[in-house]
């Protein structure tokens, strides 16, 4: 019998002051994990409140942009949250894309897979130094950390925080299998892409590193559209199509579309996305037909939503993060989560 999926929630309160209420409600509903994203807010700050006002759920970043920060900076943040949460914190890292790293964060970009591999190894060396008191001695191609004194050495939780990596392409999947504790699959995914590209590449990397599937955890986002009325459902479906179009316009995700023979669609979406048409996001959504929508997302009425997610993801991943589209009532997400988690 396939183990039930663990179901996670995205922590997206309207403001930091709303975080406590949101966290308490999500834990009470029965979600297995609560994750922050790095979009309009810092991903680490809300997790301090999440750690303080929850008792059972895992908390983590999904994701924090690694290359916007040095390994030392992230090592301190992760160690603090791991200690404060009683070991419930997971550090989820992603690369972002070159324009954002260079032009938004003003940080260097080169060879992202190799850089991420070194980044994780640097984190583990920093934590080893803090735990043992030995000399800090990490010198790599991209990062060098060779100075640490007792005044700047924090206390640690009993174990290093788990590090999980977001990966889409084969090189980053390999890195996740070699150095990380788990894999985060972007919400723009399909069961076929998971079976054909992500899982085989990941398991090969695990084997090469002397590890097994039992040593790691795979989580995936699932974009969902649902509604209690025809009007609400239509609004959610339209929003889901626009969200898929937005993600699919990013060249880094082109392979996910090529898997389904949709490379030309990816090119058309990207061309529109970089144009100046003020209506381009709406026009892009109109290019996503129902078949494409069902390939990359789940659109179902509330009483069919849980089964649709189970059918899509069971046996492929360990946990799913339900990503509602449009103004989906929270109780619909909570209902689906409870039904999915309770399934055998």
* Mean pLDDT over each residue of the chain, to the nearest integer: 94
Handedness of CA 311, 312, 315, 321 (dihedral sign): negative
Closest CA to 165 of 95, 255, 247, 252: 95
How much is the average pLDDT of 293-322? 96
Assign 1 a pLDDT band (cuts: 50, 70, 90).
very low
How much is the pLDDT for 228?
95
Give the position of tokens 């183990």. Answer: 3
- Residues near 110 by Cβ (< 8 Å), separated by ≥ 6? 142
28 CB contacts (<8 Å, ≥6 apart)? none
Within its chain, how far is the Cα of 53 from the centroid? 22
Stronger pLDDT, 218 or 15, i.e. the higher one:
218
In the chain, what are the domains? Answer: 6-224+297-341 (3.20.20.30), 227-296 (no CATH)
pLDDT value of position 344? 40
pLDDT digits (tens, 9 = 90+) for 5-50: 999 999 987 789 999 999 999 999 889 999 999 999 999 999 999 9
Distances, alpha carbon 45 to alpha carbons 37, 51, 53, 209, in Å: 11, 10, 13, 34
Whether 87 shows a pLDDT value over 60: the answer reads yes
Res 2: pLDDT: 57
pLDDT value for 91: 98
Q: Spell 208-221 as b/e; 16+ CB within 10 A means b.
A: eeeeeeeebbbbbb
**Tens of pLDDT along 98-133?**
999 999 999 999 999 999 999 999 999 999 999 999
């Amino acid at each position: 019998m396939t183990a039930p999926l663990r179901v996670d929630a995205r922590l997206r309160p309207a403001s930091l002051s709303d975080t406590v209420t949101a966290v308490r409600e999500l834990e009470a509903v029965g979600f297995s994990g609560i994750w922050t994203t790095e979009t309009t807010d810092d991903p680490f700050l809300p997790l301090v409140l999440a750690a303080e006002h929850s008792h059972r759920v895992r908390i983590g970043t999904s994701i924090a942009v690694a290359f916007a920060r040095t390994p030392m900076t992230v090592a301190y943040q992760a160690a603090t949250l791991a200690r404060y949460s009683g070991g419930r914190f997971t550090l989820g890292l992603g690369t972002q894309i070159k324009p954002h790293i260079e032009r938004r964060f003003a940080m260097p970009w080169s060879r992202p897979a190799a850089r991420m591999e070194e980044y994780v190894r640097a984190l583990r060396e920093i934590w080893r130094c803090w735990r043992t008191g030995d000399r800090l001695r990490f010198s790599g191609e991209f990062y060098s950390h060779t100075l640490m004194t007792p005044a700047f050495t924090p206390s640690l939780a009993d174990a290093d925080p788990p590090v999980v990596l977001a990966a889409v392409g084969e090189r980053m999947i390999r890195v996740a299998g070699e150095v990380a504790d788990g894999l985060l699959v972007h919400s723009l995914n399909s069961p076929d892409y998971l079976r054909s590209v992500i899982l085989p590449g990941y398991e090969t990397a695990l084997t090469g590193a002397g590890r097994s599937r039992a040593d790691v955890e795979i989580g995936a986002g699932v974009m969902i559209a649902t509604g209690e009325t025809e009007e609400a459902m239509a609004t959610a479906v339209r929003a889901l199509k626009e969200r898929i179009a937005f993600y699919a316009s990013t060249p880094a995700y082109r392979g996910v579309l090529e898997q389904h023979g949709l490379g030309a669609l990816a090119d058309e979406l990207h061309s529109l996305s970089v144009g100046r048409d003020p209506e381009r996001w709406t026009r892009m959504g109109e290019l996503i037909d129902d078949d494409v929508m069902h390939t990359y997302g789940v659109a179902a009425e509330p009483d069919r939503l849980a089964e649709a997610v189970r059918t899509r993801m069971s046996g492929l991943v360990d946990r799913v993060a339900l990503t509602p589209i449009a103004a989906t009532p929270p109780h619909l997400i909570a209902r689906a989560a409870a039904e999915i988690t309770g399934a055998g």
